[in-house]
Chain A
Amino acid sequence: ELKVEQNPLFLSMQEGKNYTIYCNYSTTSDRLYWYRQDPGKSLESLFVLLSNGAVKQEGRLMASLDTKARLSTLHITAAVHDLSATYFCAVDISGTYKYIFGTGTRLKVLA
């Protein structure tokens, strides 16, 4: 059974600080996605990572994928309050487009 675990589950950080969220998965996959979810809302696509070594950056967020280690990271640089949300990674099972979502990381950025 594919497991996708995120670490940490909860993160409270001060504005201006940096932090990394980790996403570990238990089976082979080279397609990984990061999403943001605000309370009561659906998912907002952040990054699509489709190969080993892929790195993508948008604003204060940067995501990377290491398929050999079965690990993806979401790095936050100089956090701002607007980044407060829940972040999910999702792994595509062998290119089937069936996404298995991680446990989620609830981020709170304190002003």
Chain B
Amino acid sequence: GAVVSQHPSRVICKSGTSVKIECRSLDFQATTMFWYRQFPKKSLMLMATSNEGSKATYEQGVEKDKFLINHASLTLSTLTVTSAHPEDSSFYICSAGQGNFEKLFFGSGTQLSVL
């Protein structure tokens, strides 16, 4: 199956700094990527939909200025958590699809810890 690579797998940062998470489709071109966050022992919550070459669409309640999403190419989407605070600590997972795909492919996830 298709592979989606996410990097880094784990990041620890100080409060007030910004953190960038990358999501790459390794063997296919991803027209659409999605970003999810997951709190401990909770479900995944969709944050935003990212389409190549256009602005991301954010779900209700997600601050677009806090979570900057860029989908500059068909193989790369990035999520930048700006001015991170401890409440932003979470597990972030991206997913990607191609054309009329049957299912999405998920990245390995990034555990963000803000001190």
Contact = CB atoms under 8 A, between A and B. Distances in A.
Do A and B bind? yes
Contacts of B111: 40
B79 to A, nearest CB: 15
Interface majority SS on A: helix, strand, loop or mixed?
strand
Given A48-B102, A97-B101, A97-B104, A43 B93 contact: yes
Interface in B20-60: 32, 34, 36, 41-46, 49
Interface majority SS on B: helix, strand, loop or mixed?
strand
Interface of B: 1, 6, 32, 34, 36, 41-46, 49, 93, 95, 97, 101-104, 106-109, 111
Given A33-B103, A42-B109, A97-B101, 15 more contacts: A40-B111, A43-B44, A48-B102, A50-B102, A88-B43, A88-B44, A97-B97, A98-B49, A99-B95, A100-B46, A101-B36, A101-B43, A101-B46, A103-B43, A104-B43
